[in-house]
Amino acid sequence: MTRTHSIRFHFSLVFLLLLLFVVVLGLFSLWDLKDYHAMTAGIRDRYLPSTQYLGDLNNFTSDFRAAEATALLSSDASEVAANQRDIQQLDRRITLAQHAYEHVSHVPAETTLYADFSAKWDTYRALADQVLALSRADRTAEARAIYMTGSRRAYDAASDALGELTENNRLAANDASKLADSSYRQARWLTTFAVLMAALIVLSGLMHVRRSILAPVLDLATRMRRLADNATNVEINGIERRDEIGEMARAVVVFRENAIDLAVSQQALAQQASMLGVKLAHEQRLTQLQRNFVSMASHEFRTPLTVIDGHAQRLINARSRLTPEDVAERAGKIRVAVMRMTNVIENLIDSCRLIDSDAELYFHPGEFDLNALLHELCHLHRELAPKAQIVEALNPRPLIVLGDQKLLFQVFNNIISNAVKYSPRGGVIKVTARMDAGQIEVMVQDQGLGIPEADRERLFERYYRGSNVSGIVGTGIGLYLVKTVIDLHGGTIAVESKEGEGSRFLIRLPSLPPTRRAPSLSDANEHTPATTDAITS
């Protein structure tokens, strides 16, 4: 690539020409502005101040003539003194205006007119002083005669001279303003022409840049995007150019060759990324399960172990003083604590099996009395939480259901356990079971924390916990397990709750036809849950 064919050389040449034109345009504008500035400076420094000072002289001289007339009409001493102060103040203002006008530069004609005014004003002032002196000496008739004759003629002469000077200043200022306007219009047209020429040069440069640089670059960018989309059969234009565009085109050719190799390895990388994503999700799930297990175990196991250890120490320390009834009572409390730990462990194991595997593999339905299962659960939770007020309102006849006794035990155990756990201030927990429209309806109602309205739609999601249960241990899988098991049995579950007033869980399960129902409660008791048998044995 030679120097004269490079884009940098072309850009430098274009911008150098543009810079040269801007410099010439700037110098011309400065020259033109110099004349315009001289004209506007004359208006600003000469005519505007002169107009102001002449206007002040006109006002002050008119006021002085009026003050002279007022002096003739003053009757008492206060009016005479006030008039004298006004005349002195006007005299000072006229003198200041004259001095200010004299300090402004003027042409000879203006100087001559001003000298004429000054002389005539001095003549008037001498006569006005004479009138004022006669008035103060109570020679009013003589003062009025001079005021109406000599003083008036002298004032009119001075006023006419001042008017001629003012008119001459106005005409000169008008001529200077017209000259400045003409110079401005000329400068504006010349500047407009120069701007149009600059715009034409810039437009020509832009068209050249667009045609010879931007269009090829955009074409290369489009072809590179097609290469990025794995279109490896793209033709590359401009490789014969001897400037930077040609260098880029040849680099794109190399990119195309590399893209072919990259496309071959992309599929393998995607497969590896997919495998890593699956492994990462599995590890995250295991970590979450481990965290939940540790959290629950640290809370649920500590209390019963403390109870067991405490009663065991008392049995050892007081073994010689204890009666058989005391030993039986403490052993019973130890067994209750063991039952609580056993219940927690079995719940955790069954929950993990259902969640991590196919739930239908662990679904083994059979006929059993749901009344007996609910009664056993209520009795169990009374022993685990003696302060809980659990009220049973079960159906008077057996409620035979075809279902997995162990899974339904987990369902109602979770719901009743939640009712106890989330009722920290006590309150009645009511467990109701009855037949309704050919289905078994079980209701568990508490007076606990309740569920916020925003959390109800996600209540049965896995690992989701309500926003108002912070500080209360839990895994977030209990109600997810409940919903899974109820769905396996073809039933439904509904929740009614109000935050701060409690919750009501309503479970409906299909019942057996009347011909297949067990005849008595004693027959149903033969099918009590395996977990319950282990606890009560």
Tell me: the pLDDT tens digits for 295-333?
Answer: 555 555 665 677 677 768 777 777 777 778 877 777 877
Higher pLDDT, 200 or 289: 200
Q: Which of 14-28, 91-105, 234-248, 321-335 has the highest mean pLDDT?
A: 91-105
Predicted local distance difference test score (pLDDT) of residue 401:
92
pLDDT at residue 492 tops 70: yes
pLDDT at residue 468 tops 60: no
User: What number is the average pLDDT over the span 420-448?
Assistant: 87
Predicted local distance difference test score (pLDDT) of residue 344:
64
Question: Any idea which of 3-17, 265-279, 428-442 has the lowest mean pLDDT?
Answer: 3-17
DSSP for 158-217 reads HHHHHHHHHHHHHHHHHHHHHHHHHHHHHHHHHHHHHHHHHHHHHHHHHHHHIIIIIHHH
Give the separation between CA 179 and CA 183, rounded to whole angstroms.
6
Beta bridge partners of 369: 400
Give the separation between CA 151 and CA 167, rounded to whole angstroms.
24
Predicted local distance difference test score (pLDDT) of residue 531:
37
DSSP state of 463: T
The CA-CA-CA angle for residues 177, 183, 189, to 5°, reads: 135
Predicted local distance difference test score (pLDDT) of residue 361:
65
Mean residue pLDDT across the chain:
78
pLDDT at residue 288 tops 50: yes
Give the separation between CA 457 and CA 134, rounded to whole angstroms.
111
User: What number is the average pLDDT over the span 411-428?
Assistant: 83
Higher pLDDT, 476 or 71: 71
Predicted local distance difference test score (pLDDT) of residue 123:
92
Question: Any idea which of 47-56, 372-381, 507-516 has the lowest mean pLDDT?
Answer: 507-516
Here the tokens at position 350 are 């069954």
CA atoms within 13 Å, Cβ hemisphere of 24: 11
| Residue keyed to tokens 């000054």 | 118
pLDDT at residue 142 tops 70: yes
Helices first, then strands: H and E counts in the chain: 15, 7
List b or e across 106-137, with b for residues whose CB sees 16 or more CB atoms inside 10 angstroms.
beeebeebbebbbebbebbbebbebbbebbee
The size of the chain, in residues, is 537
Give the separation between CA 436 and CA 491, rounded to whole angstroms.
13
Here the tokens at position 81 are 């003194």
pLDDT at residue 450 tops 50: yes
Higher pLDDT, 440 or 23: 440
pLDDT at residue 11 tops 60: yes
Give the separation between CA 473 and CA 291, rounded to whole angstroms.
12
Higher pLDDT, 14 or 147: 147
Q: Which of 40-54, 236-250, 452-466, 509-523 has the highest mean pLDDT?
A: 40-54
Closest CA to 436 of 513, 526, 335, 510: 510
SS3 call for 456: helix
Higher pLDDT, 168 or 362: 168
Higher pLDDT, 191 or 292: 191
Which ranges constitute the DSSP H helices of 301-445? 302-317, 324-356, 370-384, 405-421
Give the separation between CA 413 and CA 405, rounded to whole angstroms.
12
Here the tokens at position 149 are 């004759």
Give the separation between CA 115 and CA 121, rounded to whole angstroms.
10
pLDDT at residue 534 tops 60: no
SS3 call for 232: coil
Residue 535 banded pLDDT, cuts 50, 70, 90: very low
Q: What percent of the chain has pLDDT over 90?
A: 12
Give the separation between CA 49 and CA 99, rounded to whole angstroms.
12
Question: Any idea which of 19-23, 187-191, 509-513, 527-531 has the lowest mean pLDDT?
Answer: 527-531
Higher pLDDT, 383 or 36: 383
Residue 322 carries which side chain, given as an amino acid letter?
L
Q: Which of 30-34, 201-205, 237-241, 430-434 has the highest mean pLDDT?
A: 430-434
Q: How far is CA 492 from CA 382, 483, 487, in A?
A: 27, 8, 7
146 within 8 A of 134, measured Cβ to Cβ: yes
pLDDT at residue 443 tops 50: yes
Using a 10 angstrom Cβ sphere, with 0-12 exposed, 13-18 middle and 19 or more buried, the burial of residue 419 is buried
Beta bridge partners of 62: none
Per-residue pLDDT tens digits for 215-257: 877 877 787 777 777 676 777 777 777 777 777 777 877 777 7
Q: How far is CA 452 from CA 13, 455, 492, 498, in A?
A: 74, 5, 21, 7
- Which domains are seen in the chain, by residue range? 7-205 (1.20.120.30), 301-357 (no CATH), 358-536 (3.30.565.10)
3-class DSSP string for 80-100: HHHHHHHHHHHHHHHHHHHHH
Residue 529 banded pLDDT, cuts 50, 70, 90: very low
Cβ atoms < 10 Å from Cβ of 50: 24
| Residue keyed to tokens 């209990």 | 478
Residue 521 banded pLDDT, cuts 50, 70, 90: very low
Higher pLDDT, 6 or 204: 204
460 within 8 A of 479, measured Cβ to Cβ: yes
Pairing type for strands 502-510 and 389-393 reads unpaired
Q: What percent of the chain has pLDDT over 70?
A: 79
Question: Any idea which of 280-289, 337-346, 462-471 has the lowest mean pLDDT?
Answer: 462-471
User: What number is the average pLDDT over the span 339-368?
Assistant: 68
Predicted local distance difference test score (pLDDT) of residue 325:
81
Predicted local distance difference test score (pLDDT) of residue 170:
86
State which H helix or E strand residue 493 sits in: strand 492-498
Here the tokens at position 209 are 């840049």
Q: What is the pTM of this model?
A: 0.40
Predicted local distance difference test score (pLDDT) of residue 493:
92
Give the separation between CA 123 and CA 255, rounded to whole angstroms.
103
User: What number is the average pLDDT over the span 71-77?
Assistant: 77
Q: How far is CA 76 from CA 79, 81, 86, 140, 416, in A?
A: 6, 9, 16, 13, 114
Predicted local distance difference test score (pLDDT) of residue 336:
72
